[in-house]
Amino acid sequence: MTYTKEKKKRRTSAPIKEPDLSWLRAISLRNINSIVLFPLFAALLNRIPYLSLPEMPIAYFLGCIIFWYIFVETTVRKGAFFDLHAAYRLALYTVVSAGILVNSVIVHFISTDLLIYITPLFLTVAIVTILIGFEEGAGVGLFLAFIASATFRFSLDAFVMLSIISFVTALATRRLTARISIARAGFAVGAVFVALVFARSFTESAFNWIQLSAAFLNPVLSSIAVIGLLPYIEYATRIYSNVGLLELGNLSHPVLKNLSINAPGTYYHSVTLANLSEAASEAVGANPILARVGAYFHDVGKTKRPQYFTENQIGDNPHDRLSPSMSNTVINEHVQHGVELAKRHRLPLLVEDMVKQHHGTRHKLFFYRKAANRTGSTKREDFEYSGPKPQFPESGIVMLADSVEAAFKSLRNPTPGNIRETVAEVVEAIYNERQLDNSGLNLSDLEGIVDAFTRVLTSSSRPRIEYPQEEPESEVADGDTSAEQDGETRKREEDI
């Protein structure tokens, strides 16, 4: 009896378990929009010219949601840039929406029977691949291929053909560095399209010149449209392709010209930094073009007060007449002014990030120690850069290169061994300060970066051969010395 009573008491006193509602956290407005609402909007947008739903509408809408989530959304969530800037997702939505509308209008007003050959998938896939990346471009291509094939009565043949063309387009347009390469990609995709149609004609025992012509001209004409649209998209979104970045990095930009005139020391420091950053990015598989251009612009804020930075000083140091707190404020100002210039001149969003992140949250130890020696009650946090810490590999590389280049200049005996030791010490110090936690760089990457920095700095510190000075030869005419010629000249003058 006692046991039974105690058992009942335990049952009544035991706390009631609340239902697990952790799964509700995954349901947010952002997730609903990116997983459900946008693919449904895209599906409806595709049907605007027809003013009707396709066959099997439930399969159509569910297919759009599934294809978008599997091939596009999962890829987008892996990219750091989409978390940094909402402009990336907005640009993706805009380009895909415009592409779907163009595809459906062209097919509706020309001929549904030619859907496979005249759907300009190259236009949308190429823009997404060039601006954002290969995986995103290939995913968008598969999504568009499904939508187009649904219009053609869920034709598996149409889906396979358009999927192949989308994938080939993404392959042909990734990592381009010149606008003419976009046109070449259009011709290459056109040739592949013609080969597929030609092979298909053998299986159907039919040969159609209209289909062949449309298959070739479709990507070629689309490539011309991409070349024309790309600069406007880059300027509007501030998301730049490698082609646009190279145009910014040719040193003729007004911001860089102003830097070379008003802060020449900073300008040459930035050029050296660009060489270091490019070599390190190539070593670890980052984007060397983005790293180089970011290095060019990372210190443009110093044009406001260039005399307060060591590389632009000749003898006089204005900080000797300022308090440490005032010097700290002046140094911080170059980051804020650099961000203002980046926004005013619509520089790439990632370049603006590098301007903000290249110092991270590091401390200005010189001015902190100077203030501590004066007052003794100075907070270290007051002499900290506002950050944030680098958020992607190229930004972390620019931070490392900035500190390494400054340390290299202080070397009195720049032998290869001393250079490597100094580079390794600087990189290790920044790593131990946890400035690279969010950059995506691991220890293996840091070893490659140290090797790349050492190689570039060692090459730049090699001495030149000293050329011997040649003594000027005395001019001799008809075997006479110059003294004899002068004497004869005086005699003639006396006779005259």
Longest CA–CA span in the chain (Å) reads: 157
Look at phi and psi of residue 367 and say left if phi exceeds 0, alpha if psi is from -120 to 50, else beta: alpha
Query: Of 174, 208, 243, which residue sits at a domain end?
Result: 243
In which domain, by residue range, is 437 found? 249-460
Q: Is there a domain that residue 380 lies in?
A: yes
For residue 350 the two structure tokens come to: 């990632």
Whether residue 159 sits in one domain with residue 272: no
Q: Which of 161, 87, 172 is nearest to 129 (CA)?
A: 172
Whether residue 152 sits in one domain with residue 58: yes
Below-70 pLDDT ranges, the chain: 1-30, 204-206, 377, 463-467, 470-496
- 291 close to 399: Cβ distance less than 8 angstroms: no
User: What is the rounded distance in angstroms from the CA atom of residue 193 to the CA atom of residue 419?
Assistant: 54
Q: Is there a domain that residue 477 lies in?
A: no
Whether residue 267 sits in one domain with residue 176: no
User: What is the rounded distance in angstroms from the CA atom of residue 415 to the CA atom of residue 190?
Assistant: 55
Q: What is the pLDDT of residue 494?
A: 45
- Which residue matches tokens 């082609």? 243
- Which residue matches tokens 């200049």? 409
Q: What is the pLDDT of residue 377?
A: 66
Sequence letter at residue 13: S
Look at phi and psi of residue 360 and say left if phi exceeds 0, alpha if psi is from -120 to 50, else beta: left
Letter string b/e over residues 229-249, b meaning 16 or more CB atoms within 10 A of that residue's CB: ebeebbeebbbbbbbbbbbbb
Q: Is there a domain that residue 255 lies in?
A: yes
Q: What is the CA radius of gyration of the chain?
A: 33
What residues contact residue 282 under an 8 Å CB cut-off, 6+ apart? 288, 452
- 189 close to 122: Cβ distance less than 8 angstroms: yes
Q: Is there a domain that residue 284 lies in?
A: yes
Query: Of 213, 243, 273, which residue sits at a domain end?
Result: 243
| Domains in the chain, number | 2
Query: Of 218, 243, 268, which residue sits at a domain end?
Result: 243
User: What is the rounded distance in angstroms from the CA atom of residue 136 to the CA atom of residue 241?
Assistant: 14
Whether residue 258 sits in one domain with residue 178: no
- Which residue matches tokens 């907005």? 90
Q: What is the pLDDT of residue 473?
A: 60
Question: H-helix or E-strand containing 487?
Answer: helix 482-495
> How many other CB atoms are there within 10 angstroms of residue 40's CB atom?
15
Q: What is the pLDDT of residue 112?
A: 74
Whether residue 304 sits in one domain with residue 343: yes
Q: What is the pLDDT of residue 20?
A: 52
Q: Which of 343, 330, 338 is nearest to 398 (CA)?
A: 338
Evaluate the omega torsion of the peptide bond into residue 388 and state whether it is cis, within 30 degrees of 0: yes
- Which residue matches tokens 């110093």? 302
Q: Is there a domain that residue 120 lies in?
A: yes
Whether residue 344 sits in one domain with residue 298: yes
Q: What is the pLDDT of residue 480?
A: 47
Whether residue 345 sits in one domain with residue 294: yes
Q: Is there a domain that residue 467 lies in?
A: no
Q: Against a cut of 0.75, is the pTM above it?
A: yes
pLDDT per position as a tens digit, 220-246: 999 999 999 999 999 999 999 999 999
Whether residue 104 sits in one domain with residue 225: yes
User: What is the rounded distance in angstroms from the CA atom of residue 448 to the CA atom of residue 443?
Assistant: 9
Whether residue 236 sits in one domain with residue 114: yes
Query: DSSP string of 297-334?
Result: HTTGGGGSSGGGSGGG-SS--GGGGS-HHHHHHHHHHH
Whether residue 255 sits in one domain with residue 137: no
Whether residue 356 sits in one domain with residue 439: yes
pLDDT per position as a tens digit, 325-362: 999 999 999 999 999 999 999 999 999 999 999 999 99
